[in-house]
Amino acid sequence: MGFGFHGRKKRDVDAEKHLRRMHKSTPFIESPLQGADQEKLVFSQRHEANTVELFFDLFFVANLATFTTYHSITDTSYLIAYVGFFGILWCTWFQVTLHDVRFARDSIYERVCKTVQFIVFVGLALVGSSFNPGKPGDNTNFRILCYTLVISRGLLTLQYIIVLIFTIRERYSKLYLPLGLMIAIYAVAAAAFGAMTPAFRENELGHENVYVVWYIVMLLEAVCVITISCCWRMLSFKKTHLMERMSLLTLIVIGEGAIGVTKTVSRMMGKSGLDVESCFLIMCIILVLVLLWALYFDNFPHGHYGTIRQQVWSCLHFPFQLAIVGVVEGSQQIAIARYVMRIYVKIEKDIDKICHVENLDGQKLTDALTYLLKYFNFNKKVETAGLEDMTLTWIWSAGNTTGICSPEVAAEFNRTGEWTESDISTIMIYIWDGVYQGIGMKIPTDKMEKQYSTEIALASWKVVYLYYWVSFCTLIGCSIAFLFLIRRHKADLFDFVSVIIRLIALAIGGTLIALVSNDDALYAVIASPSLLPVCLILLFLILFFDKVSAAFCNWRLRKSGQPYALEAGDEHGHGHGHEDKSHGDVHVHDEASESLVPDHRHYDDHRKSAAWSIHGDADTQPLTHKSSHFSTGTSYSDQQSYAMSPPMVSPPPMMGHGHAPHGGYQPVGTSQNYGA
C-alpha cells in the first residue's frame, strides 16, 4: 500500500509566480497632506511608529547612556548639569517628534532629514562628554552645542516651510497662519542659539548667566508650539500616534536602566562572586524597573480624552522621564554605596585586627598589610594603578616604625575610638580610595587634587540620596497628574484609592528627604541595605491597591447591571493604517456598541480644499452649504454637508457597517480611537 500522486495542487504561494513583480520604490518627496484626515480635519499620517522613528529614539537613549557613563554625580553642580543636558536632549527630541507624528512620510527627503537629525544627536553626544556649565573650562564644546542646536532648529524651519508650500498648493488657507508662526518660532530659536556663540569665546569665563538662554528659548519654544496646536485644532495631535511615541520613549528610558543594572552587577560581584546581600540589592533594582513599567503602562490612556489635556499629558513626560532616570540611576548608586561602605567596614576591621588585636610589628605587619592590599588588585586597573605603589610606600614606612601597633596604642584606640597612627590611617584611606575609584566612578581631577576619594564619596552619596527621593516624589506626583488627565468617565472607588495611596507614598518620600538635615541619621540609612526595599515596597503597594480597587469596582459594576465602558484595548490600541481602532467598547442594553464611520474617499479635491479653507467659518463650526464654499462662489448642497462639530439634533442610532447617508450625520461611537 502506498501513496499515489495523480496531480499536484497549486500552492497559494505560486499563484502569481508567472507574473513580474512591481518593485517597491521610495518617492523623492511626498505631500504631508496625504495623511490629512478630511473627516476630522486633522493630520494623521499613521497610527503607530515606523522604523525610522524607532531608529531616531535609539540615538536619544545612546546619548543618555553615554552621558550617564561619563558623569558621576559627585556634587550639586554635576546634578544640575545632568538635569540640564537631559532637558536639552529631551526638548530636541520632542520638537522633532511633534513634526514627525503629524507631517513625516517616508521619502528620500524625509530620510535625508532624519540623517541630519542623527548627526545632530551625535553632536550632542560629543558635547555631553564634558558638559558642565557650572564649571569653568574649554568653551569649544559649548560653541559646538550652539551650532548643533542651530542646525536642529534650522532643519525644523525648513521642514515646516515644505509643509506650508504643500498647503498653499492645495489651498488649505486655514493653515497658512499657524504654519507661518511655527516657521517663525523655529527660525527665532535658531537665531537665538546662533547669537550665543560669541559668548563662548576662548578663555572667556564671564558667561555664567548665558547658559540660561538655552533653557529659556527651549521653554518658550515648547509653550508656543503647544499653544498653536491647541488654538488651531487642525494642527492638534488628536489622531496621531504621539501617545505611542511618548510611551516608547518611556520604555526606552526604563530600558536604559536595565543597561545600568548589568554594569552594577559587574561592579559589585565581578570580583568576589555571588553574595546574598548583593544579589538581594540587584533583585530590588530589577523589581523597581518592572514596577515602574507597570505603574506607567497599567494606567496608559485609552481613547480620546481631550486635545488640550493630551498636550499637557505629553509635556508632563519631561519631568516624569527625568524622574525615572533619577530613580533608576539612584537605585544603582545606592546599591553601590551600600557595597562600598560594607567594604570600608571590612577594611577597617581587618586593619584593626592586624594592629590592635594581633599587635603585629616589623615584617609581619608589612606582610599582613600587603596581603590585604593585594586582595583588591589595584594594579590591574588604570584608575587605581598609581594608588597601589603609593600605599606600598606607606606600608613599608609603617613596618619600619617601631611600636606603631603596640598594646599601648591599641589601648588608646579602644579608649577614644580614633586612629592615632598616621601611617596606618593613611594606608586605610588609600585602600578606601582605591575601592571607590576601582568600581568605575568618574571623579574630576580637580577634586582629586583637593580631597580624598572617601570624602568625595560621602558628599556624593548625600546628593544621590537627595535626588533619589526627590525623583521618586516627582514620579509619584506625575503619576497622580496622569490619573486626573486621562480620566474620561465618572469617578469611582479606584480613582479615590489610587490617588490616596500615591499621596501617602508622596508623604513618605518627603519624610525621607527630610533626613538630609541630619548627617548621622542620613549616613546610617545609606549604610544599611534598607533604602531600596523601602522604594520597592512603596511602588508595590501603589500597584497592589490599584489592582484591588479596580477589581472591586469591576465586580460591583457588573453586579449592578448598569451600562459600563470597557477600557481594554489591544496593546493600547496601536493599530495599522488609518482605520479607527477601538480602545474599548461601551456595554449597554439594547443599544449598538459601535457606530458607522463614513467613507470620505468619494469627496473630491475641491471638497477637501473647502474644508481646510479660511473662507468658511471658524474651525469648530459645521462646514455646511452656508459655511463652506470656494472663493469662486461655488456652494454645496445639503446632500454634501460635512462638519467637524456634531449637529444640533442627533439622528437615530445606526446598526451595522456601511456608508453614511447623504445629508446627515452619524453618531460618534464611544468605541472609536484616534490614537489620543
* Structure confidence at residue 445 as a pLDDT band (50, 70, 90): low
Rounded to the nearest integer, the mean pLDDT of the chain is 78
* Structure confidence at residue 640 as a pLDDT band (50, 70, 90): very low
* Structure confidence at residue 159 as a pLDDT band (50, 70, 90): very high
What does the pLDDT read at residue 624? 35
542 or 576, higher pLDDT: 542
For residue 310, pLDDT over 80 is answered with: yes
Q: Which three cell numbers stand for residue 302?
A: 485609552
Q: What does the pLDDT average to over 276-303?
A: 90
What does the pLDDT read at residue 668? 39
Give the CA angle between residues 172, 675, 619 to the nearest 5°.
30
378 or 151, higher pLDDT: 151
For residue 73, pLDDT over 70 is answered with: yes
* Structure confidence at residue 420 as a pLDDT band (50, 70, 90): low
For residue 422, pLDDT over 70 is answered with: yes
Q: What does the pLDDT average to over 187-195?
A: 93
pLDDT tens-digit readout, 102-131 = 888 888 999 999 999 999 999 998 888 778
CA-nearest of 74, 428, 99, 437 to 242 is 99
* DSSP sequence for 22-46: ------S---GGGGEETTTTEE-S-
Q: Which residues contact 502 (CB under 8 A, 6 or more apart)?
A: 476, 479, 480, 483, 542
What does the pLDDT read at residue 620? 41
For residue 62, pLDDT over 50 is answered with: yes
* Structure confidence at residue 448 as a pLDDT band (50, 70, 90): low
Percent of the chain with pLDDT over 70: 76
For residue 147, pLDDT over 80 is answered with: yes
423 or 136, higher pLDDT: 423
Q: What does the pLDDT average to over 478-500?
A: 90
* Structure confidence at residue 621 as a pLDDT band (50, 70, 90): very low
Least confident of 207-211, 391-395, 428-432: 207-211
Mean pLDDT comparison of 16-30, 451-465, 470-484, highest-scoring range = 470-484
Radius of gyration (C-alpha) of the chain in whole angstroms: 32
3-state secondary structure of 565: strand
For residue 168, pLDDT over 80 is answered with: yes
For residue 585, pLDDT over 80 is answered with: no
For residue 19, pLDDT over 90 is answered with: no
Q: How far is CA 408 from CA 357, 399, 404, in A?
A: 11, 17, 9
3-state secondary structure of 70: helix
Mean pLDDT comparison of 226-235, 262-271, 585-594, highest-scoring range = 226-235
Residue 661 to residue 202: CA distance in whole angstroms: 71
* Structure confidence at residue 156 as a pLDDT band (50, 70, 90): very high
Answer yes or no: are the C-beta atoms of 12 and 643 closer than 8 Å. Answer: no
Least confident of 99-108, 453-462, 494-503: 453-462
For residue 67, pLDDT over 80 is answered with: yes
Q: What does the pLDDT average to over 132-139?
A: 69
Least confident of 35-39, 177-181, 234-238, 344-348: 35-39
What does the pLDDT read at residue 242? 86
pLDDT tens-digit readout, 226-246 = 999 888 878 888 888 888 889
Q: What does the pLDDT average to over 153-163?
A: 94
Residue 566, strand partner residues: 585
Residue 571 to residue 280: CA distance in whole angstroms: 32
Q: What does the pLDDT average to over 668-675?
A: 40
What does the pLDDT read at residue 362? 83
For residue 483, pLDDT over 70 is answered with: yes
For residue 390, pLDDT over 90 is answered with: no
What does the pLDDT read at residue 452? 72
User: Grid cell 600605599 — which residue?
Assistant: 391
Residue 565, strand partner residues: 586
**pTM for the full model?**
0.78
Q: Which three cell numbers stand for residue 19?
A: 507574473
Q: Which residues contact 388 (CB under 8 A, 6 or more apart)?
A: 373, 378, 379, 434
* Structure confidence at residue 39 as a pLDDT band (50, 70, 90): low
Least confident of 37-41, 69-73, 153-157, 400-404: 37-41
Residue 176 to residue 630: CA distance in whole angstroms: 17
